[in-house]
Chain A
């Protein structure tokens, strides 16, 4: 991959890399490319527009696979090989996320292109805010990496040039989706919750609540967010309280019931030295 403006090398730890524009070594090329795509969202890294359909996304991935599949670099040294493996895994994760409609929609909500991610809303239900402040909850690296490292200013990244002009002519599509349908917002929030992204889940539910302040389902889900935060931080009694509060608001809240069952299971008959599956992971 060409890297004409050298921006990919900005983060280089080793200064030994030739920056004179001569043919770069395989290591320098791979490093520069990896640094570049890590700053991009999945659409940019695959070189497709946000509106791209599955066919286009898949083809773009195949094209990149013909450049970055580890087998094509099997004769390089170990450092290059492991870097190329990371590149391929990154591209493939992008492909797999965007090819799955549910994951893609959650991803688009989480990582909007144009506008920054909305700031974390401060007041969740009950006393969760205090807990959040004391013990910040980690979200999985995958979910937050792209959002955190997304550049907000600067010239377009090289892959951005691959985006068809048509995409740029549709700015509306690059703002975060704001579905009117409250059920859809709830669905997105629930997906985020399952992906441990409490901050954005809460944001989604609050957006829903702004539309319908008395919606019992949404109020219950906000309590579930708080409960889960307590749960991952090991504050099980507080989590139980929040789950129960959620059920008091909306007795049909499945996530709250599942959470309570899980805590009950956690507390009954533990075995030393083993894992339990955490959360609702399948």
Chain B
């Protein structure tokens, strides 16, 4: 029986685990690390480095070292998130023909799934090395707040790397499974607060009779440790400019050094009250070389990142409300993701939930362990346990007046199918445009277009007389399929939503062959 590995494909770090007997084990990488940096570097000689080796050479090769690509996956070039990344990333972000955000390295344009495939492929090799056999199947986790396009793109990344993705699992749900499977009494309600490198998720689950049922989930797919680093970097660049009149932001090498130092300082301030950033020869001024030496305190960091900390509260309140609970009814709070080591983040969760988080959870590894645990459930090795997850976004179509008509509401258990009947707006209307949106606003202007297609050859008739039954099926991985059926003729149009973005099946196949043969 070939192994199914569980992979936590993180923004900053990734982790791979496998089931050994009945226990999930984290696999060490080639350097003995239990997590591997999600960094891919392209060298001038055509070589590709992944993981710690790629991260180490980032300072000397900032424009061709790709990190945090997960923040770009499934995003449009024109989105505000991409604009923010273009401002802050040392590598080049470009607009692909289909409007997606891609990256450019040298003269090569790459989609985010291609880049992530290198990370997944690296983890695949780590697992193969450890197990002594080929690994072709994986369960990959994504943030619960990831949408359809981001999930599709993650699946594509797996296929390119030669992995059959047996399931896409939500990170907080995976963490809940790993945490709760052996130690939570039936009837418990747990909240998983997952603040990673790039995304923030909050999920509330009820565990009863072995069923892990997500009651509500919320989050922010653009809030994570990288944003905390960025605030530190911006503050130090600003101070340096004030003091020396030199903009470190102009120099990719200096910026990369500053980024690494800022990340380290932030981490150190989780365990000590002060630390120092020390970057000799960071720039050259009129009077000669300049050094950046700055003492940082925990208070300073907390003041600085206050706006980010404040953004954690809204999604939590929303999830608690959607679960129809009050905070006191939540029995346990589980913290996941490296950023939850920051004392101010722990304090924030205490303020929201009114209780201390549980101890004994490794926030960097628990998601991968949960993914590997899910493989035991699939194999039948862990009986009487199942996850019932939900969709984190409402899905619907655009109707007259630019209104959004939801078919599937957020926090609905998946898989699910919902059907609604719609009518034409014109006399003798020949076709209708089915535009699929995700969002939670009454107007589509606040929503995101996932895809669209035309249902043509409608029978003639006055406005309102021709009716179309639209049906949304959201599968267990959170991927949407839309059918539209004209009621009188029974004409059906079916569409798996990927048209407006993403890679075609053929392209994925081609990239997969290229990856295997490189």
Contact = CB atoms under 8 A, between A and B. Distances in A.
Given A266-B464, A275-B468, A71 B386 contact: yes
Interface residues of A, number: 42
B225 interface: no
- Indicate the member of B386, B421, B464 with the most A CB atoms within 10 Å: B464
Q: How large is the interface on B (under 10, 10 to 19, 20 to 34, 35 or more residues)?
A: 35 or more
Interface string B415-429: 111011111111101
B464 A231 contact: yes
A278 B422 contact: yes
A196 B462 contact: no
Contact of A266 (B167, B405, B425): B425
A232 B488 CA distance: 11
B403 A70 contact: no
B465 A233 contact: yes
B2 to A, nearest CB: 10
B399 A59 contact: no
A53 to B, nearest CB: 16
Contacts of B467: 232, 278
Contacts of A70: 415, 475-476
Contacts, number: 138
Contacts of B421: 140, 196, 278-279, 281
Interface in A209-265: 231-236, 263
B284 interface: no
Interface stretch (B20-28, B37-45, B286-294, B376-384): B376-384
B403 A277 contact: yes
Given A62-B211, A281-B420, A88 B432 contact: no
Name the prevailing secondary structure of the B interface residues: strand
A275 B399 contact: yes
B405 A88 contact: no
A270 interface: yes
Nearest to B431: A273
A207 interface: no
22 contacts: A59-B209, A62-B209, A62-B213, A63-B209, A66-B385, A74-B476, A85-B415, A138-B487, A141-B419, A231-B464, A234-B461, A271-B400, A271-B426, A272-B426, A272-B429, A273-B433, A275-B470, A276-B424, A276-B464, A278-B422, A281-B421, A282-B405
Given A85-B475, A282-B406, 11 more contacts: A63-B209, A66-B209, A140-B419, A234-B462, A266-B463, A271-B425, A275-B423, A275-B468, A276-B399, A276-B424, A276-B425
Closest 5 CB pairs of A and B: A234-B465, A275-B422, A270-B425, A70-B476, A276-B400
